Amino acid sequence: MNRRTRLLAPMFSAVAVVSLVATSTLWGAPSARAIEPPSVDPGALPPDGPPSPPEPMRQGAYCTRVATLPDTDYRVQPRYMDMLNLPEAWRWGRGAGVKVAVIDTGVSPHPRLPNLIGGGDYVMEGGDGLSDCDAHGTWVASLIAAAPMDGKTPLPPPRESRRPDTVPTSEAPPPPPPPQTVIVQVPSPPPPPPAPAGPPPPPPGEPGVAPSSWQPTGTTVRVQAVSNRFTIPQAPVDDVDVPAEPAPPPPAPPADGFSGVAPDVELISIRQSSKAFSPKDAFSGDQDPATRKKAGDIQTMARAVRHAADMGAQVINISAVSCMNALNVIDQAALGAALRYAAVDKNAVIVAAAGNTGSGGNTDCEQNPPYNPMTPNDPRNWGQVKTVVTPAWFDQYVLTVGAVDSAGNPLIDLSVAGPWVGIAAPGTDVVSLSPRDDGLINATEGRDNAMVAPAGTSFSAAIVSGVAALVRAKYPELTAHQVINRLISTARPPARGVDNQIGHGIVDPVAALTWDLKDPGARVGPERLSSPLFIPPAPPPRNMTPVWVALGGIGGVIALCVITVGLTAIRSRRVR
C-alpha cells in the first residue's frame, strides 16, 4: 500500500460511516401517507326521522341542462349494454319484489319509471326526493330500472307527476299560466206559436211584485254559463244533449334499444345532495366553507343511509361520494355506524361509486398510487393511499365499483383507484331517461356550458346495483354479504386476480345468476369494530434528535480522521 492510499483510507471509512447513518435514518422514517382501513363505532348510529336539511339552504345556480348529441340513434342498443347480455339475464327475472334506494340528487318521475316513490329530501325543506335539478340521480335511476320500450306497449301512468325546474333563490318564480275561461253556448229553443187574443194586461201593481192574476205566456229559456271564475246556478236545459267523446289512448312511444338492468324493481328516491344548493349562511363560523359543506354532506349521507334501510331497501345505491386527503380525514363516525346498520342489521347490499378524479373541479379527488409489488405484506397498497373516498373505503360493508369503458378497458385517468375497490362495470356511452320530459338523453351540461357525454363511476355503480337486485330476486335466501361475494366471485378478473383499479373484475350478470358456487361465503363479513372510529392522525413533527446525534458523531469521526491524517503527515516529515 503506497503512501497516498494510506492517507485516503481513513477518509473513505468516514464517508462509509456517513452513508450508513443516513440510510438507517431514512429506513426508520415513517411513511407520510400511511393509512389503515377504517374502524366503526356502532354506538354512533344517527337516529332516523323525517328527512330535512340540516340547516337552511338556498339555490344558487340554475338546474343542469340536458340534450341529445347529434347523429344519435336511440334505436341502436348502447354499447355498454353489449357487455351485459341482459336478455339472457332476464330469463331468471327482472328484479320484481326488490326495493332499491337511490341516494343521490333526486329522481324526476318518468313514464318509464312506473315503480318510483319518494323517500325524502335532505336538500329542500318539505321535498319528497322526486326533484332532480342536477340531472344526475335520474341518470343513475334510469340505468338501474328504466323500462324497455318496444314501440307497441303503451306506457303505464307514473305514480307521481314531474315537478317543474326550480330557479335560484334570488330569482322570482315564473308567473303562473293565465286562467282559461270555458264558454258553453246553449242553443235557444224554437220560438213559441203566437198566443190567441185575450184580455188586456192587468194594471201595474207594486214594483217588483207580479199581480196574482198575471200568468206568463210562452216558453222560458234557461241558459247556464260556465267559467272558471263564476257560475250562474241555473237549471240545465233538458232538451240539449252533448255527448262527451272518450279521449283516445296515448300512442306508444317509438321503440328504442335502451333499458335499465332491473326494470321491475321498486325505486326509492332520496335526495341527499345537489350542486345547485348551498347553506344560506355558508360563511358563518370559523370553519372553512368547503370543509363545512363536506362535513354536512357526510352527516346527511349517514341519515339517508339509515332512512333507506328503515324503509326496507334491499339494495342501496350511493353514486355521490366525497374525497379528502388521507392526512386530513373528516370525522365519519355516524356514516360508518349507518353503513354497518344497513349492511348487518338490515341486510342491505350497499353499492358505492369509487369516485372520479378531479370530478367537478374537485382537486381532492386525486388518483392514488398504483399497486407496489415491492410491498408483499400490503398487497392492496393501504400504506400509500393519499386520497380517501367515502363511503367507498368502508369496504367491509360496501361494494365499491370502479369504471371501465365499453370495451372493458379500465378508465385509469378517470376512476379513482384504491384498496377498497371490489368490482367494476361500464361507465361510458351511457343513456338516460330525461329529467325534463318523457324522452331520452345522452348528454348533459359540462364545463363552459358545453353539452358532453358523461362518464364515470356513478354509472358503473348503478349497473352493479341493478345486477345486485337481479341476484336478490333470484336468491332471496342470501344475505347481503353473500350477494356481494357472489358478484365478485363471478366477475371477469384482471390478470393479477384482483387490483386497485377494477377490484376482482368486471361484473357479469349472467354468471352471477347462474354459476354454482360451492361456498356462498359467510353470512356476515369480518368486521373492524372499535370505539371511536379510527381517524388517521396528522403526522407528528419529525424528531430531529437522532439526526443531530448522528451528525455530531459524523463530525467527530471526520475530525478524528483529519487529526489522524495530520499527525501521520507530520510524523512522515520528521522521519525524512
One domain, residues 459 and 550: no
pLDDT tens per residue across span 334-367 = 999 999 999 999 999 999 999 999 754 556 789 9
One domain, residues 270 and 387: yes
One domain, residues 266 and 388: yes
Q: Give yes or no for residue 566 having a pLDDT over 50.
A: yes
Examine residue 379 and state whether it is found in any structural domain, yes or no: yes
pLDDT tens per residue across span 407-458 = 999 999 999 999 999 999 999 999 999 999 999 999 999 888 899 999 999 9
| CATH number of the structural domain spanning residue 445 | 3.40.50.200
Q: Give yes or no for residue 519 having a pLDDT over 90.
A: no
Examine residue 522 and state whether it is found in any structural domain, yes or no: no
One domain, residues 491 and 347: yes
- Give the residue from 514, 537, 555 where a domain finishes: 514
Higher pLDDT: 435 or 196? It is: 435
One domain, residues 98 and 16: no
**What was the pLDDT predicted at 571?**
80
Give the C-alpha separation, 540 to 164, whole Å.
Answer: 53
One domain, residues 422 and 567: no
One domain, residues 490 and 353: yes
Examine residue 71 and state whether it is found in any structural domain, yes or no: yes
Which contacts (CB < 8 Å, 24+ apart) does range 247-253 have? 249/154, 250/154, 250/155, 251/154, 252/149, 252/151, 252/152, 252/153, 252/154, 252/155, 253/111, 253/149, 253/151, 253/155, 253/438
Q: Please write down the HEC assignment for all residues of 4-37.
A: HHHHHHHHHHHHHHHHHHHHHHHHHCCCCCCCCC
One domain, residues 413 and 334: yes
Please, which pLDDT band fits residue 24 given cuts at 50, 70 and 90? very low
Q: Locate cell 407520510: which residue?
A: 32
- Give the residue from 498, 514, 530 where a domain finishes: 514
One domain, residues 399 and 465: yes
Q: Is 446 helix (H, G, I), strand (E, B) or coil?
A: coil
Question: For residue 503, what are the domain limits?
Answer: 42-162+253-514
Examine residue 171 and state whether it is found in any structural domain, yes or no: no
Q: Locate cell 338501474: which residue?
A: 144
Supply the pTM of this predicted model: 0.75
Domains in the chain, number = 2
One domain, residues 316 and 465: yes
Active site residues: 104, 136, 458
Examine residue 214 and state whether it is found in any structural domain, yes or no: no
- Give the residue from 514, 532, 560 where a domain finishes: 514
Give the C-alpha separation, 333 to 43, whole Å.
Answer: 9
Q: Give yes or no for residue 19 having a pLDDT over 60.
A: no
Q: Is residue 305 within 8 Å of 342, Cβ to Cβ?
A: yes
Examine residue 218 and state whether it is found in any structural domain, yes or no: no
pLDDT tens per residue across span 89-148 = 999 999 999 999 999 999 999 999 999 999 999 999 999 999 999 999 999 999 999 999
pLDDT tens per residue across span 534-543 = 555 666 777 8
Most confident residue range from 36-40, 231-235, 340-344, 497-501? 340-344
Examine residue 555 and state whether it is found in any structural domain, yes or no: yes
Q: Give yes or no for residue 12 having a pLDDT over 50.
A: no
Examine residue 567 and state whether it is found in any structural domain, yes or no: yes
One domain, residues 450 and 340: yes
One domain, residues 388 and 505: yes
